[in-house]
Amino acid sequence: MISHMRRESHRSSRIGWLRAAVLGANDGTISVASLVVGVAAAGASQGSILLTGVAGLVAGAMSMAAGEYVSVQSQADTEEADIRRERHELETEPEHELEELTSIYVGRGLDQALALQVAERLMSIDALGAHARDELGITETLRARPIQAAFASAIFFVVGAVVPIAAALLAPSGRVAEVSSGTALLALVLLGGTAAFAGGASVFKGALRVAFWGTLAMGLTAGVGKLFGATI
């Protein structure tokens, strides 16, 4: 007999908050660093650069929170609508729902008799849970959590945005663009690598793709600032 069961920790359990956190931190670093670099390239004073960075931090954090909440809430609404429909079908057409669940298990490799037995057993325990999981693909681990996503995005946006702002504050007045962009690029490399590690992916590839897009964004914004020679 098995005296105890080993608990396993899977990275998929982190996917809800991890996606929002990485998106928030990445967007905070890239967008605010791009603002700082673009304004600095246009020849603005250090005070104006810092004001732009702080304004970008506040506006970006609120935008990220609102955007994540609306987006993930839409997903949650869709999931809830599907579950309500499934609950109604279980109440009005239980035989059809049993056949439907049985066919799903047959499609996964079970023979008809065993698939029927499994479907009957699972529906006797938790019919709605079985259909939500195996028919709709909705599980508790991967359920949409809009509040969690909104807070994670906003908080980590602020964390990411603080990096270029602090760099602009501490940099010599004539080197704000260079110091801010270099610091932001280093932060993006660390962020991309950490996120990839947490998700079980290649650390090098994760760091490289984040650094690439960050460099592209800052480069384009700096080019616009120099081209127009005015704060943006």
- Strand, helix or coil for residue 42: coil
Joined together, the tokens standing for residue 198 give 């947490």
In which residue are the tokens 């246009």 written? 42
What is the C-alpha separation between 217 and 167, in angstroms, rounded? 18
What is the C-alpha separation between 168 and 159, in angstroms, rounded? 15
* pLDDT value, residue 10: 47
Q: State the maximum Cα–Cα separation within the chain, in Å, rounded to a whole number.
A: 77
* pLDDT value, residue 113: 92
* pLDDT value, residue 114: 93
What is the C-alpha separation between 155 and 108, in angstroms, rounded? 42
In this prediction the pTM is 0.68
- Identify the CA nearest to 39 among candidates 26, 48, 27, 29: 48
Could you list the pLDDT tens digit for every one of the 232 residues in the chain?
Answer: 444 445 545 444 455 566 677 778 888 888 898 888 888 888 888 888 899 999 999 999 999 889 889 988 898 898 889 899 989 999 999 899 999 899 999 989 899 999 999 999 999 998 988 888 888 888 776 677 888 888 888 898 999 899 999 998 888 877 888 888 889 889 888 888 877 777 677 888 888 888 888 888 888 887 877 776 644 4
In which residue are the tokens 């690439």 written? 212
* pLDDT value, residue 158: 93
- Strand, helix or coil for residue 142: coil
Please state at what angle helix 46-92 crosses helix 15-41, rounded to 10 degrees. Answer: 150
Residue 180 and residue 167 in contact, taking contact as beta carbons nearer than 8 Å: yes
Helices (H) and strands (E) counted in the chain, each on its own, are 7, 0
What is the C-alpha separation between 100 and 74, in angstroms, rounded? 27
